[in-house]
Amino acid sequence: MVKVIAIANQKGGVGKTTTAVNLAACLASLERKVLLIDSDPQGNATSGFGFDKRDIKQCIYDAIISDVPMQDVIKHTAYKGLDLVPATIQLAGAEIELVSLMNREGRLKNSLERVKHNYDYVIIDCPPSLGLLTINGLTAASSVMIPIQCEFYALEGVTMLMNTIQLVQRNLNPALKLEGVLMTMYDSRTNLSQDVVNEVQKYFKTKMYQTIIPRNVRLSEAPSHGQPVIDYDSKSKGAQVYMDFAREVIEDE
């Protein structure tokens, strides 16, 4: 059974894209078939795999707005078993254009229907908002993964995110589950990071992943080389920890 995981948090810069790109690459290296969907007009997951956005003729926009079959938009990456649905800045218009379309919340779900069974995991990198693109991600997903940055105000906005998830469960996708909460950018030199982990633990209890992603400079360098960290520096802490995380995600199979 394919698992469709939406990576969502309306805060920017919490590690959604870093997690989407590196989890996808690590799952593929563990011989899973993975489709990564870039659903952020910034297209950071797309460039994170070395694609030049200027060369992309059709992106997720065409699939969800213009009914182009998803199959025609999918690109193979340099990784065996890992495909990508790219995003370009064109997607920025989708948030407004979706409003007046039929089935505006379910368009990604529909366009995925034909292709998702070719994969073990579909990972959706959501944009930093709770608008219609994120709602489309949550409607298409079987579960939602929430990255939370280890910083002051970490839980700010989480109530609003949880309310949105509940609304989607009630009205659009009753089967949607909370996959888990991933703490990111942990800094072992500060007490603050541990305090934040403890606080988030109180809120989410058993839904927290064991794996905690530390701050690691290789993770922030890898995207400018168009590579996931396991390619850019396979011996780095960042590479090891995202491999651990992928193994933890797989434990659920």
Nearer to Mg ion, 151 or 169 (CB): 151
- Among Mg ion, ligand ADP, none, partner that 216 touches (CB below 5 to 8 angstroms by kind): ligand ADP
> From the CB of 127, what's the least distance to Mg ion, in Å?
7
Residue of 10, 17, 47, 227 interacting with Mg ion (CB under 5 A): 17
Interface stretch with ligand ADP, choices 9-17, 58-66, 114-122, 135-143 (CB under 6 A) = 9-17
Nearer to Mg ion, 101 or 222 (CB): 222
Nearer to ligand ADP, 115 or 141 (CB): 141
Nearer to ligand ADP, 204 or 245 (CB): 245
How far is 76 from 50, CA to CA, in rounded Å? 12
Tell me: does residue 77 bind ligand ADP (CB under 6 A). no
Dihedral angle, C-alpha 173, 204, 124, 22, nearest 10 °: -160
How far is 154 from 236, CA to CA, in rounded Å? 26
Tell me: does residue 11 bind Mg ion (CB under 5 A). no
Tell me: does residue 16 bind Mg ion (CB under 5 A). yes
> From the CB of 165, what's the least distance to ligand ADP, in Å?
17
Angle between helices 158-171 and 132-140 in degrees, nearest 10:
60
Specify the 3-state DSSP secondary structure of 187: coil
How far is 240 from 52, CA to CA, in rounded Å? 27
Question: What's 186's DSSP letter?
Answer: B
> Scanning residues 31 to 50, which ones bind ligand ADP (CB under 6 A)?
44
> From the CB of 22, what's the least distance to ligand ADP, in Å?
9
Nearest to 245 by CA among 24, 17, 4: 24
Nearer to ligand ADP, 115 or 196 (CB): 196
Dihedral angle, C-alpha 40, 117, 141, 60, nearest 10 °: 20
How far is 75 from 62, CA to CA, in rounded Å? 14
Nearer to ligand ADP, 185 or 243 (CB): 185
Say how many residues make up the chain: 253
> Scanning residues 149 to 188, which ones bind ligand ADP (CB under 6 A)?
184-185
Amino acid in position 167: L
Contact residues toward ligand ADP (CB under 6 A) are 12-18, 44, 128, 184-185, 213, 215-216, 219-220, 223
